[in-house]
Amino acid sequence: MSNAGGRPRLAGVYPVFQTPFHEDESIDFDTLEAEFRWIFDQGADGIVMAMVSEVLRLSGEERRRLAEHACRLGRGRGAVIISVGAESARVAEEFARHAESVGADALMAIPPISVAVTEPELLRYYERLLRAVAIPLVVQDASGYVGRPMSIAMQARLLEEFGDRVLYKPEAAPIGPRLTELREATGGRARVFEGSGGIALVDSYRRGIVGTMPGAEIVDAIVALWRALQAGDEARIYRLSTPIASLVALQTGLDGFLAVEKYLLVRRGVFRNAIARGPVGYHLDDETRREVDRLDSLLRDAVEAAR
């Protein structure tokens, strides 16, 4: 589905892909292509390059190459959203212009995280990105694991200024109440994606989100849950959401998400290894790994039962 400007109307399930690496930590583009095929085969509506793609651990050139591959390989199968957030507005703008030039359907941006900027500075940062390109921008408050919460008023102002080109991925705690605050501050106009890995998907759906951006490792389960929510099938909703929430609850911080997600992608035969670029702040120990295996088995059963 497209909007009046011919762009795809962003809604549904958009997993953030994990970046596979060779043993020398260079990007494994062959496995990346296999990952994209697998994601779309599970019913995803698009793909996202963002935090669990390890963008903060990539060089500028690697980010551009990864964006180019994502746009090329996703073309024709679903929308592609590229994260362009950076520590300076100039660099973020360069990433934004590049992503648009290689075919991104939309951008996403976290604010700078190394300094505490004032609200007027943050507003100028996002205004600069929106003025640099013609495609939509997802404003990502990733403060659930990096950075600081952004004010609801500032986020609402961007929608007033730039209209429906502005979307949101709010991850500041408490997720549900802040999502409602954003909805009310924008008169119900805010188009919001859930970004908690699925743990808050049911509650967020009931508060009016248009989609979700989980990790890629359980995309089949998230697609099944999204469809159950759209159908209003309460029994199926909770049969799926309970093991999803339990599994995501084990993932502490960005490196916790990465460790579990890459482990599960190896378990599913999508990835050859679970290498993440270090230094990392979380390692999957044997007991956690066994619990992940148990919960994943429960989730597989729930997905099969939901079909």
Annotated binding site for pyruvate: 213
Helices (H), 119-252: 119-132, 152-162, 175-185, 201-206, 219-231, 234-249
8 A C-beta contact, residue 217 and residue 296: no
Cβ neighbors of 281 (< 8 A, separation 6 or more) are 253, 254, 255
8 A C-beta contact, residue 139 and residue 166: yes
Residue type present at position 27: I
At residue 262, the 3 state secondary structure works out as: helix
- Both tokens of residue 79? 């929308």
Annotated binding site: 213
How far is residue 199's CA from residue 207's CA, in Å, rounded to a whole number?
14
> Is the bond leading into 214 cis (omega within 30 degrees of zero)?
no
How far is residue 53's CA from residue 181's CA, in Å, rounded to a whole number?
29
At residue 78, the 3 state secondary structure works out as: coil
